[in-house]
């Protein structure tokens, strides 16, 4: 007989006698997760299945650990039914087993009108409690309807099961009367979560597209303005006035571009449309031109203090930047509509989105490279002048600079025995790091997010292993121990590897002659 597969469901509740402020950080530590990640990925979607296995003892052990810190969980035997998402208070929860939803409905914890969707599908439908011979006829005749349509109780047929026409209505709640559809407008606030709200990097990619469009338009516009200014060069006052009007026209053009597109029928600029996102109010409705105008000029405040207002879109609950909050707006995915079921699957970032995200970084690199080139040119000119001055200082004894040359040695300066001991120890450190790199590379190559965690090691040379970064550029950082058991030259040092498209790049605070592997 094959073992029965079970699922461990995190309900999101706290056991009696425990304080929620202490439970969730303790559970995050038990699961070896960051508390913010636990909140965003598990608690925001609870109840949610956190582990499925046919090893019941293993799941019971995991359940005991969660109970020890005060987190409520349930073990459910899985049948042949698909796992489901459930729409609770307008927010998708799950995935959870079909039998879990059935139990909640039978106990009265959830209404019979609750909407569900099979994992991998965006087709929301009403949940229908399965019937059994022992079930009362009135219960057999109860059919769950979507909360967007009226709830009706069917009369049982002669066979004791729901009438066929009622089953058809339950399977297609959109086939109701016109009065049913009038109730589809919802005044509820948009829920928090990555399934509804567009993330920071997707918005950056959209802004890059819009910036390219505006830059091309600005070049053409200023070429025309420059021609007019050159024609009026005989009159400096008129030329200045033309250039002033040019800058005013640039601001007006940017304002109309964002405000008209974001308050228009598509609710999105061309950049946002390309990334599958749009601008709404905090209830998911289309915004007007006035609110779009306020949102545009609110960007001035968002960028005033080192662009912190923009960066807020990366960590606020609804992924709102400061100007979004000021205007009461949200940036959501295209499929989010008021009065319609929330999506269950977060759209993946298009490949070109990641390319667009690299453009600002490339621009910064080019800026610093240009700055470095200019500095080299400046230093070269200064060096030429110094060489000319040296011809007038031939009588100076250059032997005084011999000590300076000795300080230019890039080696570690430790004796041979200590260097050999460090290299031997670093070989074992490298073996541990290689195992972690293989795990992280597999996640990055599979399109997953970089893990964000800190690990310990049985290796006495390693204080901690930190994993982080933004996929696909994940990082593995090894901090060496401060213990007196390892040579002084290796204590509290750091080695960091960054995954760069199939290869690892290394950076270390240690001297190169102490490392048995290549590292900058």
3-state secondary structure 148-187: CCCCCECCECCCCCECHHHHHHHHCHHHCCHHHHHCCCCC
Residue in 16, 10, 15 with CA at minimum distance from that of residue 28: 10
Average pLDDT of the chain, as a whole number = 79
pLDDT tens-place string over residues 67-91: 988 899 988 888 777 788 888 877 8
Q: What percent of the chain has pLDDT over 70?
A: 82
Q: Report the pLDDT value the prediction gives residue 382, as an integer from 0 to 100.
A: 67
Over the stretch 116-133, which tens digit does the pLDDT of each residue have? 888 877 677 888 755 444
Given this model, what pLDDT does residue 287 score?
Answer: 95
Question: Is 150 a residue whose pLDDT tops 60?
Answer: no
Mean pLDDT within 31-48: 86
pLDDT score for 226 = 83
| Alpha carbon distances (Å) from 28 to 8, 31, 58, 428 | 16, 5, 19, 30
Which pLDDT band, with edges at 50, 70 and 90, does 447 fall under? confident
What confidence tens digit (pLDDT) does each residue in 225-258 have?
Answer: 888 878 777 777 787 888 888 889 999 999 999 9
Q: What pLDDT is attached to residue 264?
A: 94
- Measured between alpha carbons, how far is 35 from 230 in angstroms, rounded to an integer? 61
Work out the average pLDDT over 400-414: 52
Question: pLDDT by residue (tens digit) across 493-509?
Answer: 888 989 887 788 898 88
> Residue 49's beta-bridge partner residues?
9
Per-residue burial over 382-421, b if 16 or more Cβ lie within 10 Å, else e, is eeeeeeeeeeeeeeeeeeeeeeeeeeeeeebebeeeebeb
Q: Which of 75-89, 207-221, 420-434 has the highest mean pLDDT?
A: 207-221
pLDDT of residue 292: 95
Write the pLDDT tens digit of every residue in 157-172.
333 333 333 333 333 3
Between CA 265 and CA 101 the distance in angstroms is 38
Model confidence pLDDT, tens digit, residues 367-386: 888 887 777 777 777 666 66
Residue 387, pLDDT score: 67
pTM (predicted TM-score): 0.43
Tens of pLDDT along 302-348? 999 889 999 999 988 889 999 999 999 999 999 888 877 777 778 88
Residue 137's pLDDT is 33
Which of residues 144 and 33 earns the better pLDDT score? 33
Give buried/exposed letters for 197-232 (b at 16+ CB in 10 A, else e). Answer: bbbbbbbbbbbbbbeeebeeebeeebeebeeebeeb
- Decide which of 143 and 61 is more confident: 61
Calculate mean pLDDT across residues 289-304: 94
- Residue 389: what pLDDT? 62
DSSP one-letter string for 393-427: -TTS-GGGGHHHHHTT--S----HHHHHHHHHHHH
**What is the predicted pLDDT for the residue at 393?**
59
Range from 56-60, 189-193, 470-474 carrying the lowest mean pLDDT: 189-193
Asked if 499 and 441 touch (Cβ cutoff 8 Å), the reply is yes
- 516 pLDDT above the threshold of 60: yes
pLDDT value at residue 213: 95
For the chain, helix, strand, coil in percent to 5 are 45, 15, 35
Q: What is the pLDDT of residue 388?
A: 67
């Amino acid at each position: 007989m094959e073992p029965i597969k079970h699922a461990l469901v995190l309900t999101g509740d706290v056991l009696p006698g425990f304080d929620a402020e202490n439970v969730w950080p303790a559970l995050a530590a038990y699961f070896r997760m960051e508390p913010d990640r636990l909140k965003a990925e598990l608690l925001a979607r609870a109840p949610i299945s956190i582990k499925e296995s046919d090893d019941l003892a293993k799941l019971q052990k995991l359940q005991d650990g969660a109970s020890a810190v005060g987190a409520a969980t349930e073990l459910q035997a899985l049948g042949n039914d698909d796992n489901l998402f459930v729409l609770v208070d307008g927010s998708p929860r799950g995935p959870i087993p079909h039998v879990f939803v059935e139990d909640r409905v039978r106990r009265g914890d959830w209404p019979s009108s609750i909407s569900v969707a099979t994992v991998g599908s965006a087709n929301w439908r009403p949940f229908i409690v399965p019937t059994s011979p022992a079930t009362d006829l009135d219960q057999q005749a109860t059919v769950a309807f979507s909360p967007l349509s009226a709830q009706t109780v069917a009369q049982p047929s002669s066979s004791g099961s729901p009438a066929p026409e009622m089953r058809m209505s339950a399977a297609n709640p959109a086939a109701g009367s016109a009065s049913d559809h009038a109730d589809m407008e919802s005044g509820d606030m948009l829920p928090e979560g990555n399934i509804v709200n567009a993330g920071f990097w997707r918005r950056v990619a959209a802004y890059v597209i819009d910036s390219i469009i505006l830059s091309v338009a600005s070049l053409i516009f200023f070429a025309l303005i420059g021609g007019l200014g050159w024609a009026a060069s005989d009159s400096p006052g008129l030329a200045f006035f033309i250039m002033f009007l040019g800058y005013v026209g640039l601001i007006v053009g940017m304002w109309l571009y964002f405000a008209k597109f974001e308050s228009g029928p598509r609710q999105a600029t061309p950049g946002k449309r390309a990334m599958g996102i749009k601008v709404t109010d905090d209830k998911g409705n289309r915004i007007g031109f006035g609110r779009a105008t306020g949102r545009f000029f609110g960007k001035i405040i968002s960028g005033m203090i080192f662009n912190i207002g923009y960066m807020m879109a990366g960590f606020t609950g609804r992924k709102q930047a400061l100007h979004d909050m000021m205007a009461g707006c949200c940036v959501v995915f295209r499929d989010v509509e008021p009065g319609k079921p929330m999506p269950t699957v977060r759209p993946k970032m298009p490949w070109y989105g990641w390319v667009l995200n690299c453009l600002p970084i490339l621009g910064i690199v080019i800026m610093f490279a240009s700055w470095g080139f200019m500095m080299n040119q400046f230093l070269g000119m200064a060096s030429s002048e110094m060489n000319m001055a040296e011809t007038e200082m031939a009588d100076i004894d250059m032997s005084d600079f011999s000590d300076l040359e000795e300080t230019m040695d890039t080696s570690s300066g430790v004796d041979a025995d200590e260097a050999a001991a460090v290299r031997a120890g670093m070989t074992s450190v490298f073996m541990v790091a290689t195992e972690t790199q293989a795990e992280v590379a597999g996640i990055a190559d599979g399109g997953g997010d970089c893990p964000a965690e800190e690990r310990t090691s049985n290796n006495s040379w390693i204080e901690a292993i930190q994993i982080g970064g933004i996929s696909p550029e994940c990082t593995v950082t090894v901090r060496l121990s401060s213990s007196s058991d390892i040579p002084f030259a290796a204590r509290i040092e750091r080695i960091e590897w960054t995954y760069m498209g199939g290869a690892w790049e290394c950076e270390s605070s240690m001297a190169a002659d102490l490392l048995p592997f290549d590292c900058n």
